[in-house]
Structure 1
Amino acid sequence: MNISNYLKNSNVKIMLTVIIWYSLFHIILTHACRDDDVYSTVLSSFNDFHDFYAYFIDRYFNWSCRTLAEVLTIIFTAYPTWIWKVFDVAAFSAFIWLLSKVINTIYQKNNDSDNLSASALFMIVFYPIFDMKTAGWITTSINYFWPMLCSLYMVLFTVRHISGINQNVIQIILFLVCTVYSGTFELISVFNVSFAAVVLFILFRNKIENKLVFASFIISLFFLVYNALCPGNSVRASVNIDQFSSWNLMNTIEHINIALCATFSRLTSFSYQTGVQAFLLYSVFNLLILLNIHKKYKSVLLDTLMFLPLIFTYLFNQVDMKFGSIWLFNDSVSTIHVGQIRYVYQPVLSVLLFCFNLIGLVLIFKNRFVKGINCCYLISLLYMVAFGTRFIMGLSCTVYASNTRTYIVLLTCLICICLLLVNEIKIFEWYRKEFYGVCSKDSNFSPDYKGITALK
């Protein structure tokens, strides 16, 4: 096949567009900064391997459990920035491609460009990429985004394994390597253990070979314990508490309120300070839930209930009592008494938003089965883990030192769920029928298709 024929492939054109977009973005707008400058001097200070080893032992006991990610960080920051840029462009492009492959595998689409286009659109338009510079472009990408990319490949491998798709030795090795690297990020290690446990249950139940998934589960469990026992995390928390002295003056309820409300504060705020992407993504997420509920149930009552989160989104910020951060909390709480309704306004709306979203997802994916497992359990787990990552981080004052990068996992998971909702409502098929008068060529998406079919 010559180049001209190769470029006629729609998937190739989409990926070229993605690569060009991220290349231009990295060339023009990214640069080494903040923690990047600190890490850039570390590698040159080592005299031998003993210094290398001693450095990471010290980091584990006095600062962070992400020792494996820090190996790459000190390497990439020590060399010209363009080397990292090449790798990061590849990472974002690969993330979009893997995301589309996961969705296509679940919905049994072969070489379909619809989900690749949708994945590119959602990542480019709704992913707040400037969150990647809050600790420095290089540091944040290596510690946050690259582990998520590895976890996504782990998901794709296991979904293909459940589907009975043969995978070669290189893919198996890459699967195990990605499992190791993704486990370096504390919250992703929690997701990996949960996901691997669910997959093992599916494989045991259906008597499918599970040695590789079991190995992935053991690796993920090891890193979960490794991260949980890291003494450096406690040391780092103590350092940050000194920066936010008011943290120890708050009671448990106040800590929970801040963790809960700060999570939804960004998702409901159309703010130039943190970017509008998170707000737009969450609005689209709620709209897709509403459209799916309307199409599936044709119920005025359910339509009304699923419309309420859009109203809650507007109401969330219509109050002077803010839980979005320690500073906003301190400024506003000094003017009220705990018993006043203003104190519970945002926490109640946060709980309502979470519950309505979860109920909507359960209703949409109810009775959708993959290998005998109800899809509503899997999607609900993904949703709860996504919000749980940000909520758990919000229970520590370190979240305010980490800034908006603490939303990266949450927003990425929301993008994934949105793509599932787009497929569930069959937007691509509607578009072809409405504008071209044709239906999808994929036999699984005939007009009477009911949702996710059981994987063969």
Structure 2
Amino acid sequence: MRKVSRQLNDSHYMPFLYFILFSLVIHFPMTLNYSDDARFKVILKNNDLFQWLHARYFTWTSRVLLEAVMVPVLHAGDWLWKWIDVLMIAVFVLALSKLFVKSRFAACNWLIILLFLLIPVRAFNSAGWAATTCNYLWPMTMGLIALLPLKKLLNGQRLPYYAYIICIPALIYAANQEQLCVALLIVFGAFIVFFAFQHRFYLFPVIQFLITMASFIFIASSPGNHARLMVQVVRSNHHFFMLSVANKLEIGAFSSTLNHFIFTFDPIFLILCILITAAVYAKIVIHSYAR
């Protein structure tokens, strides 16, 4: 038993086990009885899911795949969401490890987990715990899974058959989130160009690019997204259509993000920024001395 225990402690996957246990403890007291969570929990009491999704696409949002998962999960009860959310968080950090860690696995995995924990908790509760995670964290997790085959191709490895079975559905789900769809479109396009310059051709990134492009067209053509934009403009910003493209990018890409992480003071995030700055400076100094 001691030998098994020692092997587990030495395993570079042990940090994820501790992280899962910690996530379960954090999720235990969470309730889904306010904000968007409370509204989504009762949708199926008076509505047919597919008819409701059809109406949502034409009147409010193109996130029909995300909501097709979220609404039944919330209808089933808080505990189902809690178990799935813990699983998604665990897969998220594990996928990051698979994508970026090459050596010193245990130490790097602990670092990934600590960086994840530095994300302000309020970021996961802006519209309710479930509504926020189902619309952002879960698609991000599926998006990371969809990127895993690219690392194998970069290393010249063959893709196993299950890559298609797992990664394509994950990508279809992830690409239903607007911002993530654009990011994935850029990533897959960049990889296709990169492989072309190396005179290598792989079918899988092309398939992923085409799936993501189809999702982008689906999102861009959604009447609901346009209808929601008009409602939000009337509610929040009457001068929206007078703004330039540069102004809109500044508001969407910088101001709203900085509001969560910088303008709203967060000492932990401040410490993270200082550590990153120090690490970059140390790297530059070490590199200059090495020359």
The alignment's TM-score, normalised by the length of structure 2, stands at 0.88
1:101 equivalenced with 2:93 (yes/no): no
Which residues in structure 2 correspond to 1:104-123 (within 5 Å)? 104=101, 108-109=102-103, 112-123=105-116
Q: Over residues 107-143 of structure 1, what are the superposed CA-to-partner deviations in whole Å (9 max), with x where a residue is unaligned?
A: x43x72222111011111x112331111111111111
**Correspondence for 1:264:** 258
Identity of aligned residues (%): 20
1:187 equivalenced with 2:187 (yes/no): no
1:289 equivalenced with 2:280 (yes/no): yes
**Correspondence for 1:67:** 64
Q: Over residues 140-198 of structure 1, what are the superposed CA-to-partner deviations in whole Å (9 max), with x where a residue is unaligned?
A: 11110111111111222211222123442223311111111110100111111111111
- CA shift for structure 1 position 209: 4.4
Q: Which amino acid aligns with 2:114?
A: L
Q: Over residues 74-97 of structure 1, what are the superposed CA-to-partner deviations in whole Å (9 max), with x where a residue is unaligned?
A: 111101211111111111111111
Q: Which moved more, 1:284-293 or 1:60-69?
A: 284-293
Residues of 2 paired with 1:255 and 1:214: CA distance? 31
Q: Do the aligned partners of 2:181 and 2:212 also contact (CA within 8 Å) in 1?
A: yes
Of 131, 148, 152 in structure 2, the residue corresponding to residue 139 of structure 1 is: 131
Q: Which amino acid aligns with 1:122?
A: L
**Correspondence for 1:52:** 49
Which residues in structure 2 correspond to 1:431-450 (within 5 Å)? none
Q: Over residues 204-263 of structure 1, what are the superposed CA-to-partner deviations in whole Å (9 max), with x where a residue is unaligned?
A: 333434111111110011111111121211211221222225545975476566554444
**2:9 aligned counterpart, secondary structure:** coil
Q: Do the aligned partners of 1:56 and 1:67 also contact (CA within 8 Å) in 2?
A: yes
Q: Do the aligned partners of 1:76 and 1:138 also contact (CA within 8 Å) in 2?
A: no
Residues of 1 paired with 2:210 and 2:258: CA distance? 34
The alignment's TM-score, normalised by the length of structure 1, stands at 0.58
**Correspondence for 1:22:** 23
Q: Which amino acid aligns with 1:114?
A: A
**Correspondence for 2:150:** 158
Which residues in structure 2 correspond to 1:55-454 (within 5 Å)? 55-104=52-101, 108-109=102-103, 112-124=105-117, 126-244=118-236, 246-248=238-240, 251-252=243-244, 258-259=251-252, 260-269=254-263, 271=265, 275-297=266-288
Larger RCO, structure (CA 8 Å, separation 6 or more):
2
Q: Do the aligned partners of 1:32 and 1:81 also contact (CA within 8 Å) in 2?
A: no
- CA shift for structure 1 position 62: 0.8
Q: Over residues 6-29 of structure 1, what are the superposed CA-to-partner deviations in whole Å (9 max), with x where a residue is unaligned?
A: 523332421111011111110134
**Correspondence for 1:36:** 37
Pick the structure with greater CA Rg.
1
Q: Do the aligned partners of 1:103 and 1:115 also contact (CA within 8 Å) in 2?
A: no
Q: Which moved more, 1:144-153 or 1:126-135?
A: 126-135
Residues of 2 paired with 1:90 and 1:62: CA distance? 32
Residues of 1 paired with 2:274 and 2:56: CA distance? 40
Residues of 1 paired with 2:153 and 2:214: CA distance? 23
Show structure 1 runs of 5+ residues with no match.
299-447, 451-456
**1:198 aligned counterpart, secondary structure:** helix
Residues of 1 paired with 2:234 and 2:259: CA distance? 25
Residues of 2 paired with 1:201 and 1:245: CA distance? 39
